[in-house]
Chains A and B, each alone.
Chain A
Amino acid sequence: MSSTEAPTTTTETEDTAYPFGPVSVNEASRRYAAIAADRPMTKMTMPFGGDVWVIHRNAAARQMLGDPRFVREPFRTGERVVPYFVEFPEFLKTTLQFEDPPQHTKLRKLVQKSISPKRVRAMRESAVEFANHLIDEMVAKGSPANLVHDYAVALPIQMLANLLGVPPEDRPKFQKWSSATLAVANMPEEEVVANMTELVGYMMALIDERRKNPREDLLSDLTNAQHKDDTLTDAEILPIALVLIIGGFDNTANFICFGVLSLLKNPEQLKILLEDVEGVAPTAVEEILRHGRMAFGDTVTGGGGLVPFVATEDVEIDGHVIAAGEAVLVDPASANHDGVAVTDGEKFDVRREGNPHLTLSYGLHHCLGAPLARMEMQVAITELLKRLPGLALAGEPKVDKNNLTEPVVDVPVTW
């Protein structure tokens, strides 16, 4: 090489600007890795609530999520607006997600017994049975089908209904309430309030009923938790039930869809899964949680992430000081493609071991329904692809951007 030529490297230099996009899926994966290699975090100004540090590196994200000096009290009390893309629905700030210890510890302890790995294991058989029942119905109706409506949403709602003790035939109501109460655009305030009132009325009546006539379900457990200091008031039970009901199925349904789409896009990975379903399903689901969002659509926009925290004092994370009063959040898409934590992060590998993804968060506020979500994804994705090996897309999938969880609303499939 002559001295006047620019030096060449084997890898292209990636743009490390953040936020970015929309860019192609592969480019997004490479950019996330390049940004994480460049710096642990970026300060970003959000459309609501002002500035927030967005953490890119996996280890730095875990350090922040595991540090009790980061809290959510200022958001809960209304002292501060949550820095986010949309205005956070008011009622969500009354839920467990926005509590700090010791109240958080008390509430979480009570709920997690009912949704623990052990309890979820006991639900697996009924999930398999219900998944097959839904597939039977789809087949009987004939293709094409909307995988979201006929399958991906129906399964988690059934499981949640069983767990909480709400009648599954009320499923259409939950979907309506969920889309209204998590609406972030294009819905008049009166309609949101009317739906919220309806949902609260429904749940209060059910809580009252379970207090009088307890059954084997989460609401009965909560209403009858009387030992030690564990007694819960209705005002404490209601937000727990609400967050489980309306937060619990859209996200799971989304990832069931992302899983199916990822596997259809990567037939060699689907083959590996189908050759040893029991052995591969657990790692496949972790990989779908890590990278599955990339199978949806042709482009990815980088920016934002999980619900933020506020620093109660100056805290140094990976060489950066997050000052007292500053907000911070984790972008799981970045952390899931950080080259230090994940090798070849742009590859979808259903056998990836020790997958460090942060899609379900980490620490005190990690996803309460994680064991349930994992089981439902394993069951839903594998049962569907075992039963319908010829499954194929019959049109473009669609997402609803007017809802906080951005639910996938249409995945047309044939088989």
Chain B
Amino acid sequence: MNEHSRVLERDELEIAELRSPDVDLRLPAVVPREPFPIEPLTVDARQQTRAVGQRATRPDGRLHGLGQTKYIDDLSFPGMLYARIKRAGIASARIKHIDTSAAETMPGVMAVLIGKEIPTNSFGPTFQDQPVLADPIVRHAGDGVAAVAAVTEQIANEALAKIVVEYEPLPAVLDPVAAMREDSPQVHAPNSNIYATKVVRKGNIEKGFAESDRIFEARFSTQMIEHVSLEPHAAIADWDANGRLTIWATIGRITLARSDIARTLKLPMSRIRIIGTIVGGNFGGKNEISQEPTLALLSKKTGRPVKGVFTRGEEFIATTTRHPIIMDYKTGVSNKGRILARQIRLVLDGGAYCSWSATTLGKACILSPGPYKIDNVLAEAFVVYTNKTMTGAMRGFGAPQVCFAYESQMDDIAKALGIDPLEIRLLNAFDEGSSSPTGQVLHSVVIKESLRKAADRFGWEPRS
């Protein structure tokens, strides 16, 4: 029935019906025109050549939208077992004894694993300071101390409760500043708690402060943050009868994972296959191995595929987090608002293990002066061990922390000098060819364009 015949029928309708509170009452007296056939003026972005610059949809988008993407927890293999890891629950201790006998005799429990059984019980992307399962020293409450593989996850959980671990508590240090003192308990005795440092020095900081009209000093600090990916850390390990190990893992770096797993298991790389599955969120939290060697050894012991999926609680206590940083900023400026000198001291809470701390330390230190032309810079950064969840890679590697500090102080300077916050940034920001704090000549610098564009979009007007 087309639009025209529908209108003719209306003529025969009763008046009352026509007067009903209906949008049809606004019907025009003439028949609406047939619309032109609508044809897309452009083909789908995925079909276009050129390809770069197109708003191409993702090939995996349909499966995500339909809920059909297969994450690790959706995968299952015949005879597959479920692994769970017992967490220490104590921040600093020496393991005196682990009794796994009650767990081992439980029906449905196929294997139990402790740290002593791991060929090389240490890993880490920079320093190999992290055990797969703690043995004998526990350095944070989330350290794994034993693992179980059972026919169901429930039985594995029950078995964990039957593993008895005897601890000798050791003094713990939780505050990074306290951990820097010489009399502090050492997290990795006999080594110092300060495990990496970085310095960036440019110009003459004393001279810069001497030439400054005003000097601003402030301390900023940030908190520990978890990535909270929707998908927790998950993996399936299958050590087959040929001695070849296949691991399906939700991990962002398979090449590094294979070398770390080869090292921990003392296995040639050619016998290891890592398949990176669709990762349900990484944000830096899945850039290194975690439970994979444990699952592999449980699979070797049982001859069955073994799956491990972290609980949300384990995501918090047993995986890497964002570094809390204590940031001292001292900045000398001219009365016109030019930054002449900036001195920065950063103390990063490195948690119990290094993970990606050395990288975070470096980036935080290099970026800490901000995107500004400053001739005199001294930035010093320290990362220290504490008996807390390890800190590591997280979206920005220390940059969000130092940005919070340098941009907060920038506004304080602007306010004290009576300069508009946008203006003081445009006054100091890098130009094409500016020299960075490490002396690098910068190219394709568009910070001023970004400032102006955001200000335009926001509707930023200077206030008098």
Do A and B interact with each other, yes or no?
no
Residues in chain A within 8 A of chain B (CB atoms): none
Residues in chain B within 8 A of chain A (CB atoms): none
